[in-house]
Amino acid sequence: MRLVVISPRPDQRLPLTDELAGVFARMSGLLLSDTAVETSLSLLSSLAQQTVPGATGAGVSVIDGRGRRSSGSTDARVREADSLQYALEEGPCLAATATRRLIRIDDLAVDERWPSWASNAARIGLAAAMSSPMVVGDRCLGALKVYADEPHAFDAHGEQLLALFSTQASVLVANVQSYDRAKRLSDGMRQAVQDRDVISMAKGVLMGRSAIDEDSAFGVLLARAEQDGTTVAEAARAVVDSVVRRRR
């Protein structure tokens, strides 16, 4: 699905809240949908690129316990610029995440804060950059960034746009992460219930076969699991499967 954000002409610039109203409405709808992580962040980056004047590329850097990774990048240069930051341990996204402040680089050719990253980013055709942290409560989830092909492409108006946009982005990323955690938990609970049921069935089979009590049956499963180097649930499943095969 291709989304188009219609920007006002320079001489008819709308108030900031009106300019972002359509974007935020779309994102609010996205929060309620069962959208894959990469698809969600790709949409987010595309909207950021179209919304911030001067931006020619955008993406999201997610920084959490799993490490640093780029998601939803609009093109290969954004991914490469991000990879350089992670490899060199410097750059505007990392700084925005660490300081929780918006970082703007007007001209990569003369900026001296992150010289190694800036010189490498300039070699791939980038000339300006801006990163805004994604903060939810006391957590900083990473940064939403835009890049430009020309120096001095971003101004104070662009800063306001990106800051407001990153606020919404942080809600989206937090929502996606919460959904992902809930799904993993749900899958884990479902598996736990299935394991419990198959263990109960296996214990019943062993109790009937060997005329032993429940604790002894569980001991047999535990011994088989240790002998075969498997889990108790896998040992139990083998017992249940043996009954099924016999009935065939």
Residue 149 lies in a domain: yes
Question: Do 54 and 144 lie in a common domain?
Answer: yes
Residue 118 lies in a domain: yes
Report pLDDT for 3.
37
Residue 195 lies in a domain: yes
Report pLDDT for 185.
66
Residue 32 lies in a domain: yes
Residue 4 lies in a domain: no
Q: How many domains does the chain have?
A: 2
CATH label of the domain that carries residue 199: 1.10.10.10
Domain that holds residue 242: 187-247
- pTM for the full predicted model: 0.65
Question: Do 73 and 131 lie in a common domain?
Answer: yes
Question: Do 219 and 139 lie in a common domain?
Answer: no
Note down pLDDT in tens along the chain; length 248 residues.
333 333 443 444 444 555 555 555 555 555 545 455 677 778 888 888 998 999 999 999 988 777 888 888 999 999 999 999 999 999 999 999 999 999 999 999 999 999 999 999 999 999 999 999 999 888 899 999 999 999 999 999 999 999 888 887 787 777 777 766 667 666 666 677 678 878 888 888 888 788 888 888 898 999 888 888 889 889 888 888 877 666 55
Helix (H, G, I), strand (E, B) or coil at 149: coil
Question: Do 169 and 218 lie in a common domain?
Answer: no
Which of 183, 204, 232 marks a domain boundary?
Answer: 183
